[in-house]
Amino acid sequence: MSVDIEDVSAISSVLKLLGDKTRMTILSYLKGHELCVCELVDLLHVSQPAMSQHLKKLRLAGIIRERKQGTWVYYSLNEQLPKYVSVVIETLPNQNLGNYRNPDCC
């Protein structure tokens, strides 16, 4: 079985993206369910522009995917992540959405 060797530059730039508390929290919320931008804004108490920029970075790095539906944009974890990324995400706690209901939307 071949090993998943990658370029040091590529790995470190992905890890730099992951090395942000807000982005890691986003990823922990995306474990299991897709969420739209306004839900993430709601859950993380982060401004909408800030959220938008974090999501853009994660998307450009291929870590998350977007699905547009009308005005809403739903984000979810990308399947087929490099192993070292998926292990990091597995290590994150599962966020408990509790009785949070999808606002329709914000």
Half-sphere exposure of 88 (CA within 13 A, CB side): 19
For 67, residues 6+ apart whose C-beta sits below 8 A from its C-beta are 34, 73, 74, 75, 76
- The reply to whether 50 sits near a copy of itself by the rule CB under 8 A is no
- Tell the residue number behind the tokens 């706690």, with chain if given: 93
Q: Does 101 bind a copy of itself (CB under 8 A)?
A: no
- Residue 4 is given by DSSP the state -
Question: Of the listed pieces 2-10, 26-34, 35-43, 84-92, which binds DNA according to CB under 7 A?
Answer: 35-43
Contacts with DNA, residue ranges (CB under 7 A): 16, 20, 22, 36-38, 41, 46-57, 66, 68, 70-73, 103-106
Which residues of this chain interact with a copy of itself, rule CB under 8 A?
A: 3-9, 11-21, 23-25, 28, 82-84, 87-88, 90-93
